[in-house]
């Protein structure tokens, strides 16, 4: 794919976010902000038989942060929790498909940070990325 197609993918996820919303009740729920801008993302997970049975995200942020969270929900839905715990920032950045400048890295990784914090507990979220 060319760069422009990747950009289209980001714009498409921003304009038509997948799995947008909240889950109540949820097995894991967490929200956090990008400390640089104050934008917020929340992710809710429902786990059945150690798999992500349902996932939703919500929040407000830039196109990169929200598109990235939307893409992340598609990456994890239906997957075993153990696999999702092992997701790295490189896995997500590869899925985004566009070069992310250092300034936008926290935008792109906000959803993953929130997801990990929800699963692992706040204290280890940054260590696990
Ligand atoms: Fe706030 Fe990107 S500018 S998350």
Q: What is the pLDDT of residue 15?
A: 96
**Per-residue pLDDT at 125 exceeds 60:** no
Q: What is the pLDDT of residues 10-44, one digit of tens each?
A: 999 999 999 999 999 999 999 999 999 999 999 99
Residue nearest to atom 3 of ligand 1 (CA): 62
Q: What is the rounded distance in angstroms from the CA atom of residue 118 to the CA atom of residue 27?
A: 9
Regarding the beta carbon of 39 and ligand 1, being less than 6 Å apart is answered yes
Contacts of residue 48, Cβ cutoff 8 Å, sequence gap at least 6:
none
Residue 62 alpha carbon, nearest atom of ligand 1 = 2
By most ligand atoms within 8 Å of CB, the mutation choice from 39, 63, 69, 70 for ligand 1 is 39
Regarding the beta carbon of 101 and ligand 1, being less than 6 Å apart is answered no
Domains with residue ranges and CATH for the chain: 3-120 (3.90.1010.10)
Evaluate the CA torsion angle 66, 69, 75, 79 in order and state its sign: negative
Q: What is the pLDDT of residue 89?
A: 95
Regarding the beta carbon of 37 and ligand 1, being less than 6 Å apart is answered yes
């Amino acid at each position: 794919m060319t760069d422009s197609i990747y950009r289209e993918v980001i714009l498409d996820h921003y304009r038509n976010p997948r799995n947008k919303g909240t889950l109540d009740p949820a097995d894991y729920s967490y929200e956090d902000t990008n400390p640089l801008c104050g934008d917020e993302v929340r992710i809710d997970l429902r786990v059945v038989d150690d798999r992500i049975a349902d996932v939703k995200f919500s929040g407000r942020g830039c196109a990169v942060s929200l598109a990235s969270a939307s893409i992340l929900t598609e990456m994890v839905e239906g997957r075993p929790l153990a696999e999702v715990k092992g997701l790295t920032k490189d896995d997500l950045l590869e899925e985004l498909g566009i070069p992310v400048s250092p300034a936008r890295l926290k935008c792109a990784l906000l959803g993953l940070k929130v997801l990990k914090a929800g699963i692992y507990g706040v204290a280890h979220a940054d260590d696990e990325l």
